[in-house]
Every structure is written in C-alpha cells, then in structure tokens.
C-alpha cells in the first residue's frame, strides 16, 4: 500500500473539484445515505440476526460508506494521482480518533 505525500488534511473542497459543501436537501441526504440500511441489514443477516440491525451496526455501515465516498471524492479530484488505498486507510483511521 502506498502512502499519500501530504502530511496534513487536504483542503475542502479538493483542489480542482467542483464539489462544494452546502446544506443537503432532504432528497439529496436520502440519496447519499441510501446504501447504509441495506448494508447494515446484509451484515446483520450474515451475523445470524433475525431482526432489524442494531443501531450500532447501522451507524458503522453508514460511516464505512461515507469513508468510501469521501476517499473517492479526493481521489477523483486528484485525477487519480493520489493513492486510493492510502486515502481509504486514512479515512477509516480517522474514525478511531
């Protein structure tokens, strides 16, 4: 796994990106979190749960998908110059605090 060359967090939005942060409309928010519940349900099923996934599992699934999305945004903004695996590692490591 390669490491990114930067030593501090990248600016937001990433340089060259047309992405800007603004409050999400309800439909946008629903679309950005749409994968969380199905992923949490699949993980709960795999663990043998008969009921709905526990909230902790749903939160972890949502966090994982957001890590993936943010890493992809940075990688895309760099035109693939940054190491995607390193960005994913950095995103997931940031959850540990």
Sign of CA dihedral 42, 71, 69, 53: positive
- Note if the bond before 9 is cis, omega within 30 degrees: no
Q: Per-residue pLDDT tens for 15-49?
A: 555 554 444 444 544 455 556 678 888 888 888 88
pTM, full prediction: 0.60
Which of 10-24, 48-62, 73-87 is most confident?
Answer: 73-87
pLDDT attached to residue 16:
56
- Average pLDDT of the chain is 76
Half-sphere exposure of 20 (CA within 13 A, CB side): 3
């Amino acid at each position: 796994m390669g490491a990114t060359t930067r030593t501090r967090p990248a600016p937001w939005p990433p340089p060259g990106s047309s992405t800007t942060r603004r409050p999400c409309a309800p439909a946008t928010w629903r679309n950005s979190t749409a994968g969380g519940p199905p992923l949490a349900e699949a993980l709960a099923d795999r663990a043998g749960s008969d009921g709905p996934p526990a909230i902790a599992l749903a939160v972890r699934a949502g966090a994982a998908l957001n890590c993936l999305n943010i890493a992809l945004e940075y990688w895309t903004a760099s035109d693939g110059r940054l190491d995607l695996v390193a960005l994913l590692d950095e995103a997931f490591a940031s959850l540990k605090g």
